[in-house]
Amino acid sequence: MKKIIITAFAPFNGREENASFIGVNGASFDCKSVEAVKLLLPVEYNTCFDLLKSAIDSQKPDGVICFGEAPRKEITPEFFALNVMNATIGDNKGVIMSNMPINPNGESSYKTKLPADRIVAALIQSKLPAAPSFHAGTYVCNNLFYLLMQYVANEQLPCGFIHVPLLKDGKTGMKREKIIKSVQVCVTALADYLG
């Protein structure tokens, strides 16, 4: 059995729900192959990684997948975390970052340690829209992704970040059941990769 930490974000920017939480909270797994440790993170630059770091240190997982939401049509494993914070909206504490480094002395970017191509293939095989994405933006999602990858830079821990589409609202977004299925497929693909 593989222990995998899966994280989601709280709602932000005035929205009532976050698609990543819907997916992570609703996902269920074969208890013989995956032990999922679910974690809800605040949309806050200064605290989101602290909770994840504590979970990694205490749980000693075999892998980590962080989920967030983005206004996209596909589920998108992110390939690179960038050393920058830049957004026109504040986090849930009202903090606005404008072209600031996450770590002034850090690497300019880190590559995911997830088997991203394999996850995209598994999603497509499950008839879910998926595509690789080259970075996670420059908001709190990317901040979490960068700090995670920096923390495990010298470890062989498969981990990274995946965006799911927003919850369906009228003509745009993805239905709740498909968001849940997408999280299940991503986590199962990682567990299969881990063997």
The CATH number of the domain holding residue 56 is: 3.40.630.20
Considering the entire predicted model, what is its pTM?
Answer: 0.96
Mean pLDDT, residues 120-139: 97
* Total count of domains within the chain: 1
Catalytic annotation, residues: 78, 141, 163
Q: Reply yes or no on whether the pLDDT at 61 is more than 90.
A: yes
Residue 107's domain comprises 2-194
Do 21 and 180 touch, CB atoms closer than 8 A?
Answer: no
Q: What is the pLDDT of residues 11-59, one digit of tens each?
A: 998 888 999 999 999 999 877 889 999 999 999 999 999 999 999 999 9
Nearest to 123 by CA among 112, 135, 115, 111: 115
